[in-house]
Amino acid sequence: WFEKAAKQGHPEAILNMSFFHLEGLGGCSIDFRKASELAEKAKSIYPLLADKCHALLVTIAYRIRPDSSEAKSILLPLAEEGMAVAQNSLGVAMLNDAFEMKENNRCNAKAWFVAAALQGAEAAVWNIV
């Protein structure tokens, strides 16, 4: 049912299919790229699903490998949009010298931690210390 509804453009079905590809459910193979594309598509069709899509995209970034360029391509736009979880995750990755961006990683990481902490992200507060 979800696959048929997703093909017809139903945003919640598209989001469910994204989750299916993330977890390998409903006969879908695990495919992080497909999961990411579907989450972005659901968000573009129905912006009220943005929070659910963002949460799913951060989960996808963690499953891919938080220090990969593919994870960065997911986390950076979400962090720039102001999503605290993505900001904190990006900061952690930078602090661990991820994304082959060796210059100013500590400063950049701290900036993302502060941005997340200002939104009440407790984990980010601890990461500033």
Q: Distances in Å between the alpha carbon of 77 and those of 7, 47, 58, 90?
A: 26, 15, 11, 10
Closest CA relative to residue 109, chosen from 86, 82, 88, 125: 88
Q: What is the pLDDT of residues 37-83, one digit of tens each?
A: 888 888 788 777 666 766 677 777 666 666 677 777 778 888 898 88
Spell out a b/e string for 88-111, using b for 16 or more CB atoms within 10 Å of the CB, else e.
Answer: bbbbbbbbeebbeeeeebeebbbe
Q: pLDDT over 90 for what percent of the chain?
A: 2
User: Hey, what are 68's tokens?
Assistant: 């990969």
Residue 115 has a pLDDT of 93
Q: What gap in Å lies between CA 105 and CA 38, rounded to an integer?
A: 31
46: left (phi over 0), alpha (psi -120 to 50) or beta: beta
